[in-house]
Amino acid sequence: MAYRKLGKTALELTEITFGAWAIGGWMWGGNEGNDAIEAIKVAIDNGITSIDTAPIYGQGESELLVGEAIKGISRDKIQIATKFGMRWDLAKGELVGPSEKNDGTKINIYKYAGKESVIEECENSLKRLGTDYIDLYQIHWADPTTPIEETYEAVLRLKEQGKIREAGVCNYDVAQVAKADKVCPLASIQEPYSILRKDIEEDLVPYVIDNEIGILAYSPLQRGILAGKYQPGHVFNAGDTRAGSKYYQDDYLLKVNSFLDAIKPIAAGKNVTIAQVILRWTLSQPGITIALAGARNAQQALDNASVMELALSDDELSEIDTQFAKVEIPA
């Protein structure tokens, strides 16, 4: 098992952490619960003992599936990260917009992280996960209607009560990270990061390196496009928001696939997949502590676990960067 410590804390997560967004089905065109539970169990059995989920993923579905999958496993053998601050069951805060549950029920999504909501969400997550503490508790998105100080005073209270081990943030800028960290010392920040999306390198990465805060990179495969399995004209299931993503438009997809074709020799030489190479590249970047990798079935979980045994030389990492630059993929 390959663990990495988050910042100045004692909390360690496996460098590949199970990202449980897709198993919730929401925004991914539905899910298959039994496959998801098996994927989590296989991941744990093969060394991925850390899981990152959130209440909004399937409106509780992802956390319930994680809770079911970890039943009977000694709690000190796994690390659970979840989030708060996105409500579909409370009309308060900033309206994000309308959405649908997996069953088609219409809902509205709000960003809200008032003190009482943070406490309530934690209790709800503990119940769904079937545990009495959360290893890493993170705000999902910034709530402009609530002072950060109020939000993280509530998080600090939860930490003092032993309901969470460490605090983190997601999708925050440098100024927001600094405000939260002053109230409740942060273990980590979770941000989108991939070879296609490196904007955090400009200011956030230097800041967290200087301040010893870990980075959990989400969507390192850019929601699957960097696995090299999609071709122009791909038809997604109803409700799968990748259909409208710029990354999955035909022109963009052709450029990405051209880059992936160029690095196939690296993957072939190590008898691994392109996705595994990309995940290891991600973990090799300055400031990146953890890469979140989703799995909707057992084979994907096994492939992700194998990344923890994969090594890339400096020359191979340089070759990946060189081939990426040649294709001139737009930011």
- Catalytic site residues? 57
Between β-strands 79-84 and 134-139, what pairing exists: parallel, antiparallel or unpaired?
A: parallel
Q: CA of 228: how far to CAs of 160, 222, 275, in Å?
A: 45, 11, 7
Q: Please write down the long-range contacts of 103-112, taking CB distance under 8 Å and 24 or more positions apart.
A: 107/59, 109/56, 110/86, 111/85, 111/86, 111/87, 111/140, 111/141, 111/142, 111/143, 111/144, 111/145, 112/85, 112/86, 112/87, 112/143, 112/145, 112/146
Count Cβ atoms below 10 Å from residue 70 Cβ, excluding itself.
22
Tell me the three state secondary structure of residue 59: coil
Neighbours of 72 (CB within 10 A): 6
- Measured distance CA(87)–CA(110) in Å, rounded: 5
Question: What is the rounded distance in angstroms from the CA atom of residue 124 to the CA atom of residue 137?
Answer: 13
For 69, residues 6+ apart whose C-beta sits below 8 A from its C-beta are 36, 37, 40, 41, 44
The 8-class DSSP code of residue 146 comes to S
